[in-house]
Amino acid sequence: MRFWPHSAAERPNDLGWLAGICLLLSVFASFPAVATGTLDKSFSPRTVQIKVTQVRSGDEFTSGRFKVRLYGIASPDFGTPLGSDAVGFLNRLIWNQQISCRLTGQGFKDAEVGTCRIGGKDIAEALVREGLALPCHRLGGRLYERAAQRAKDTGIADQFDLPAYCGSPQGSEM
């Protein structure tokens, strides 16, 4: 029994293998880069109208396969007491609702970043006012400083450490 063809007619076409590998590499290269805690420019800026089908966390949600990360805030992780409250609040506010998102053209992990509104109300600002999210300075959080000042008495700053990718309030935005 032979495991490898011996004659030239039986050998695989070397150019065929090379073409297949090149095609495979070009397909992988066409996917947007996935960021890990920083913004990247993987998408084109635009405004979209979407119906929210799932709330993933206090600052991320989906519409089918389309994922949105709210610009300018960070919310506690789901599974923590405040994270569960943030998801519950966001579910009550936007789940199964039509919302408008002005996407920045930036990606964060596997989602597009944007400022979203429901009925003219800024969703990220509502989370900050409720004490369920904090401004994330490297993700544009200066927009929500006033709302955060008003929500200081909720104690979120004492219960939730901003992720390192947010930087300090004195740090510069990316």
Q: What is the pLDDT of residues 22-63, one digit of tens each?
A: 444 443 333 333 334 456 666 889 999 999 999 999 999 999
- Which pLDDT belongs to residue 71? 94
- Which pLDDT belongs to residue 157? 65
Q: What percent of the chain has pLDDT over 70?
A: 67
Q: What architecture (CATH level 2) is domain 46-162?
A: Beta Barrel (2.40)
Give the C-alpha separation, 106 to 20, whole Å. Answer: 32
- Which pLDDT belongs to residue 2? 52
- Which pLDDT belongs to residue 30? 35
User: Is 104 a residue whose pLDDT tops 80?
Assistant: yes
pTM, two decimals, is 0.70
With the C-alpha atoms ordered 88, 90, 92, 98, is the resulting torsion angle positive or negative? negative
Domain definitions of the chain by residue range = 46-162
- pLDDT per residue as tens digits for the range 68-97: 999 999 998 888 878 999 999 999 999 999
User: Is 170 a residue whose pLDDT tops 60?
Assistant: no
- pLDDT per residue as tens digits for the range 128-155: 988 899 898 777 777 888 788 766 666 6
Look over the chain and give the mean of its residue pLDDT values, rounded to a whole number.
Answer: 77
Give the C-alpha separation, 148 to 80, whole Å. Answer: 20
- Which pLDDT belongs to residue 118? 97
3-class DSSP string for the chain: CCCCCCCCCCCCCHHHHHHHHHHHHHHHHCCCCCCCCCCECCCCCEEEEEECCEEEECCEEEECCEEEEECCEECCCECEHHHHHHHHHHHHHHCCCEEEEEEEEEEECCEEEEEEEECCEEHHHHHHHCCCCEECHHHCHHHHHHHHHHCHHHCHHHHCCCCHHHCCCCCCCC
